[in-house]
């Protein structure tokens, strides 16, 4: 059974999260172990793209499998968000108890306020994308992040990518409107953070390792703001 192989992989990977794929190979379900490329593998996994391609070459991918070595097997908020994005069933194992749980795409969306920060899944750009989809029905382009968020701090993408996503920079004479985005520099020489202006001097954003929040656009955040942008297709 593939579960025994996945469990053994999870045990051998402790205290790091193991990850792999379930594929159909010659009519049978087979576990395909993958590398975890996350920089904090005790609490997150980033599946190797090369392993994904190799698994696809061997059979049809039907599920994502990973472990929760430090917590229960219950799907986390980030698991459910990533499950929706993958459009695959997710199996989760707790290696010490051999408890298995799973989740599958069902339309789940993380709350805009109070979501836990997980790089590449629930981060500042994910929050902006989700807000635009919910508020305006606009699907903004997602960007592939580097595996290490520190690399993003060194080489942030926002300054180069906002135009191709449909935004234009505001002129100095233009006032902020509801839904404008603020590009900020947080402990970085480049623009590495982004938030949504909600009017009345408030901003919705998601700082690293904090819960997403609606905050006052105070003096500190204004000082951090390097560009103000507006979706070009909106009036």
In tens digits, the chain (235 residues) has pLDDT values of: 899 999 999 999 999 999 999 999 989 999 999 999 998 899 999 999 999 999 999 999 999 999 999 999 999 999 999 999 999 999 999 999 999 999 999 999 999 999 999 988 999 999 999 999 999 999 998 887 877 777 766 666 666 678 888 899 999 999 999 999 999 998 877 888 999 999 999 999 999 999 999 999 999 999 999 999 999 875 4
66 is catalytic: no
The catalytic position among 66, 68, 193, 206 is 193
* Alpha-carbon dihedral angle through residues 98, 99, 102, 108, given to the nearest 10 degrees: -130
The catalytic position among 9, 66, 68, 205 is 205
Residue 114: Cβ-neighbour burial (10 angstroms; 0-12, 13-18, 19+): exposed
pLDDT given at position 154: 65
Q: Give CATH 3.40.140.10 domain extents, the chain.
A: 2-103
Sort strands 89-94 and 60-67 into parallel, antiparallel or unpaired.
parallel
Q: What top-level class would CATH report for the domain 2-103? A: alpha beta
> Could you give the CA distance from residue 197 to residue 6 in angstroms, rounded to a whole number?
45
pLDDT given at position 157: 67
**Which CATH number applies to 124-231: 1.20.1250.20, 3.90.1720.10, 3.30.565.10, 3.20.80.10?**
3.90.1720.10
| Dmax (CA) of the chain | 65
103 is catalytic: no
Q: In what order do the strands lie in the sheet with 193-199?
A: 167-169, 225-231, 181-184, 193-199, 202-205, 213-216
Phi–psi pair at 54, nearest 5 degrees: -65, -40
The catalytic position among 124, 128, 206, 224 is 124
68 is catalytic: no
């Amino acid at each position: 059974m593939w579960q025994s192989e996945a469990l053994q992989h999870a045990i051998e990977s402790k205290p790091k999260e193991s990850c792999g794929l379930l594929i159909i190979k010659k009519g049978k379900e087979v576990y395909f172990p993958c590398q975890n490329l996350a920089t904090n593998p005790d609490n997150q996994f980033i599946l190797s793209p090369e392993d994904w391609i190799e698994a696809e070459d061997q059979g049809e991918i039907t599920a994502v499998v990973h472990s929760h070595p430090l917590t229960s097997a219950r799907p986390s908020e980030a698991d459910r968000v990533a499950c929706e994005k993958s459009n695959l069933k997710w199996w989760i194992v707790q290696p010490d108890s051999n408890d298995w749980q799973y989740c599958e795409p069902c339309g789940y969306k993380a709350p805009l306020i109070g979501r836990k920060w997980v790089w590449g899944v629930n981060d500042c750009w994910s929050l902006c994308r989700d807000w635009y989809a919910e508020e305006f029905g606009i699907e903004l382009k997602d960007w592939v992040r580097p595996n290490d968020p520190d690399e993003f701090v060194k080489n942030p993408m926002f300054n180069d990518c906002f135009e191709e996503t449909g935004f234009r920079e505001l002129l100095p004479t233009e006032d902020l409107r509801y839904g404008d985005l603020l590009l900020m520099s947080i402990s970085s020489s480049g623009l590495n953070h982004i938030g949504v202006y909600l009017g009345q001097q408030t901003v919705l954003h998601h700082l690293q390792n904090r819960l997403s929040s609606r905050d006052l656009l105070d003096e500190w955040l204004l000082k951090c703001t390097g560009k103000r942008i507006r979706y070009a297709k909106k009036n």
